[in-house]
Amino acid sequence: MEGKMYSWKMTELKADFQLVESPLPELNQDEALIKISGCGVCHTDLSFWHFGVKTKKELPLTLGHEISGKVIAGPSEWIGKNVIIPAVLPCGECELCKKGRSNMCQKQLMPGNDFDGGFASHIKVPAKFLCPVPEAVLEKYPLEKLAVVADAISTPYQVLKKSELEVGDLAIVIGVGGVGVYAALIAKIMGAKVLALDIDNEKLATAKANGIDATLNIKGMDIRTVKENVKEIVKILGVSRFGWKIFEMSGTKAGQELGFNLITFTSTLSIVGFTMDKPEVRLSNLMAFDAKVIGTWGCKPELYTEVIDLIATDKLKINDFVELFPMSKINEVFKNTLEHKYKKRSILVPDNQ
């Protein structure tokens, strides 16, 4: 296909991204070429760029896996459609896919990890699991803002379903930044009483303003003090002291240790945030409390339509939680994200939009 594309390449650890111009890629059968509308900046991108987590594809590599855009070439049934690209693209045929665990497909492809991702003007992807965006949703939000569906919203959605959250349960969300705030909002939509824990008053205030039942700034508190405060809030909310659903979203050692120490009888702790650090926990607590710890990896594409429906029906609103930047500001945005200067999810928009 004739034409040019540009991409921002990671060339080495901690180095500035480099702008590269190249021809548009040739498509294989069942692949689609998508003109990118927006690509969100995720903690996983920071892990690749700054913290030494290895990508599957060797550098140089275009990062970015939280992508929305419009199909401009490929299978005829997809051309012209506005889509979300799932952050995890499974094969759809293997044992895990057939068992409903396609997010863990061992042949999966992840943009910005297995192949060049979304910090670019265009991207080539398998068409099989693209998620179409209905016009009703586009009447509410521009396509670039909907990039957050690909990870920041869909990942907590999947883990909330896996946690077996029930109406009336207490959901404790540790870290209500980019991904965590969606976990809190979706837990509320699912009928839980939600307690948000963070060290940032502004993030907690935003959560509270969007209907979260209770918040607690845990900055400077030791674990014992946090637990005492949580127990008091439980009494005020009138929820059970058993079966808490705890969601660790911060991706920090302190957050993971706190989440584990909040486990009580029949609790479920869900680990969503990622860190290379190793927490110190007493695993025997799981036995003593008949509790469980679960993890999650992305979101299987089959659930994306359910996430889109939450937005289409106005149950989930996203404007307060995203901020747009020109993609040419990528180096500035990554550095500011690393330094926790943003309160919202950053979405990079190609400059030629």
| Sequence-ordered list of residues with C-beta below 8 angstroms from that of 226, at least 6 positions apart, any chain | 197, 216, 218, 258, 262
Domain identity same for 263 and 344:
no
Cα separation, 263 vs 70, whole angstroms: 44
Rounded mean pLDDT, 120-132: 97
Structure confidence by residue, pLDDT tens digits, 166-205: 999 999 999 998 789 999 999 999 999 999 999 999 999 9
Q: Is the pLDDT of residue 1 over 80?
A: no
The predicted pLDDT at position 177 comes to 84
Instruction: List b or e across 233-268, with b for residues whose CB sees 16 or more CB atoms inside 10 angstroms.
Output: bbeeeebeeebbbbbbbbbbeebbbbbbbbbbeebb
Domain identity same for 291 and 161:
yes
- For residue 84, which of 118, 119, 55 has the smallest C-alpha distance? 118
The predicted pLDDT at position 107 comes to 95
Structure tokens at 191: 């009928």
Distances (CA, A) of 351 to 4, 21, 142, 315: 14, 14, 15, 31
Q: Is the pLDDT of residue 111 over 70?
A: yes
The residue range of the domain holding 68 is: 4-150+300-349
Q: Is the pLDDT of residue 163 over 70?
A: yes
Classify 349 as helix, strand or coil: strand
Q: Is the pLDDT of residue 330 over 90?
A: yes
The predicted pLDDT at position 275 comes to 86
The predicted pLDDT at position 43 comes to 87
- Domain of 308, CATH number, reads 3.90.180.10
The predicted pLDDT at position 137 comes to 96
Domain identity same for 9 and 144:
yes
Classify 162 as helix, strand or coil: helix
Which of 252, 272, 295 is the C-terminal boundary of a domain?
295
| Alpha-carbon torsion, ordered 331, 333, 335, 336, to 10 deg | 160
Domain identity same for 339 and 202:
no
Domain identity same for 10 and 88:
yes
Rounded mean pLDDT, 233-245: 97
The predicted pLDDT at position 343 comes to 84
Domain identity same for 194 and 217:
yes
Domain identity same for 18 and 133:
yes
Cα separation, 3 vs 81, whole angstroms: 20
Which of 278, 295, 312 is the C-terminal boundary of a domain?
295
Structure tokens at 320: 């307060």
Domain identity same for 252 and 287:
yes
- For residue 143, which of 71, 43, 78 has the smallest C-alpha distance? 71
Domain identity same for 249 and 325:
no
Domain identity same for 12 and 129:
yes
Structure confidence by residue, pLDDT tens digits, 18-41: 999 999 999 999 999 999 999 999
User: What's the mean per-residue pLDDT of the chain?
Assistant: 95
Structure confidence by residue, pLDDT tens digits, 260-281: 999 999 999 999 988 889 999 9
Q: Is the pLDDT of residue 59 over 80?
A: yes
When divided into structural domains, the chain yields a total of 2
Domain identity same for 211 and 193:
yes
- Partners of 9 in beta bridges: 18, 62
Q: Is the pLDDT of residue 48 over 90?
A: yes
Domain identity same for 20 and 57:
yes
Which of 276, 295, 314 is the C-terminal boundary of a domain?
295
- Domain of 230, CATH number, reads 3.40.50.720
| Sequence-ordered list of residues with C-beta below 8 angstroms from that of 263, at least 6 positions apart, any chain | 244, 246, 269, 285, 286, 289, 291
Q: Is the pLDDT of residue 128 over 80?
A: yes
Supply the pTM of this predicted model.
Answer: 0.92
Strand 61-62 vs strand 345-349: parallel, antiparallel, or unpaired? unpaired
**Residue 353's pLDDT band (boundaries 50, 70, 90)?**
low
In the chain, the N- to C-terminal Cα span, in Å, equals 20
